[in-house]
Every structure is written in structure tokens, then in C-alpha cells.
């Protein structure tokens, strides 16, 4: 789920869903969605082995409700996402996040959460978050106040 307040492609929202054999980008602005998918999502390393494929684009509004104390809900077309139960909040910075061979600086408030459900057509996808309460860490998380810039030009 992307909520973009400012970017070189303007503001907006987009939901990116990758499942084995299929990548979908849903949002009201196909240009913003295409840019997010091409420049960010295809390079973001997450757990699992879902390969990036040519995305399918669906033009639809994205609803988005974020409460940093409780979690977030988002929906677009037939996809919904709910992440809840924040465990902790961290301010993080990575100075060499590789996006397709281009190093970026990433600063974000990272919030691992206990619960998460992604549903398509009202049916929850299989699986769930991997939570380590001792860490505390989780594969389900919210990233807020996220800022990306190229490492060679921090003001871009």
C-alpha cells in the first residue's frame, strides 16, 4: 500500500499486490502506480519467493485509513488489506538501499504489527505474519513518514 504525499510523479495512492505468477497495481493514477511498481516495488526485498512480473493495472480509487496507535486498512477494486496490533515503533535509516543498482537513502518510521490479512474478492489469502515478540519484529509492518532519495544526490 502506498500513500504518496509528494513525489516526482505527484501525490496519490496505489495498492501493489504480488502473488505467485501475478503482480497487480491498483490506483486512480496509472502513471503514479506504474512508477511505484517499476522504481520501487520490483526491487524491494521482502521475505518469500514471489518473482516480479509485468504488472496488470486497474484504475480504481483506493481507500486508506491509518491510525499509528492501532494500524491501517486499505482497499482498492477487489483487494483489501488490514494490518493491526503495533508491537513497537522505530525510526530507521538505511543509507544504501539498492533499487535496481541505484543506491538510495531510506528514512522511515517502521512499525511491526501482530496481525495482518490480505483478501481478494472477500477471501483471505493464505498465510499470516511471522511475529517475534522478543525482537520485537514482524513480517507485517507499517512504514510511515517514509522518505527516499538517491544516495548521490540526497536532495532529490
Q: Taking the domains of the chain in order of start, what are their residue ranges?
A: 2-150
pLDDT of res. 135: 87
Residue 57 confidence (pLDDT)? 97
* Predicted pLDDT of residue 48: 66
Q: Model-level pTM greater than 0.75?
A: yes
State the pLDDT at residue 23: 94
**Cα torsion 34, 39, 42, 47: sign:** negative
Distance CA 60, CA 58 (A): 6
- The parts of the chain modelled with pLDDT lower than 70 are 46-48, 153-156
Q: What is residue 154's predicted lDDT score, i.e. its pLDDT?
A: 54
> Is 97 in contact with 37 (CB distance < 8 Å)?
no
Amino acid at each position: 500500500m502506498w500513500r504518496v504525499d509528494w513525489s516526482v510523479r505527484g501525490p496519490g495512492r496505489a495498492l501493489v499486490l504480488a502473488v505467485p505468477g501475478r503482480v497487480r497495481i491498483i490506483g486512480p493514477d496509472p502513471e503514479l502506480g506504474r512508477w511505484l511498481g517499476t522504481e520501487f516495488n520490483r526491487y524491494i526485498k521482502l521475505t518469500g519467493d514471489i518473482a516480479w512480473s509485468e504488472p496488470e493495472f486497474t484504475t480504481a480509487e483506493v481507500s486508506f485509513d491509518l491510525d499509528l496507535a492501532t494500524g491501517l486498512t486499505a482497499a482498492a477494486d477487489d483487494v483489501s488489506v488490514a494490518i493491526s496490533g503495533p508491537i513497537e515503533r522505530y525510526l530507521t535509516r538505511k543509507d544504501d538501499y539498492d533499487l535496481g543498482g541505484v543506491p538510495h537513502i531510506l528514512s522511515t518510521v517502521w512499525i511491526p504489527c501482530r496481525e495482518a490479512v490480505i483478501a481478494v474478492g472477500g477471501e483471505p489469502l493464505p498465510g499470516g505474519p511471522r511475529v517475534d515478540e522478543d525482537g520485537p519484529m514482524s513480517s507485517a509492518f507499517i512504514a510511515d513518514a517514509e522518505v527516499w532519495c538517491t544516495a548521490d544526490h540526497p536532495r532529490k
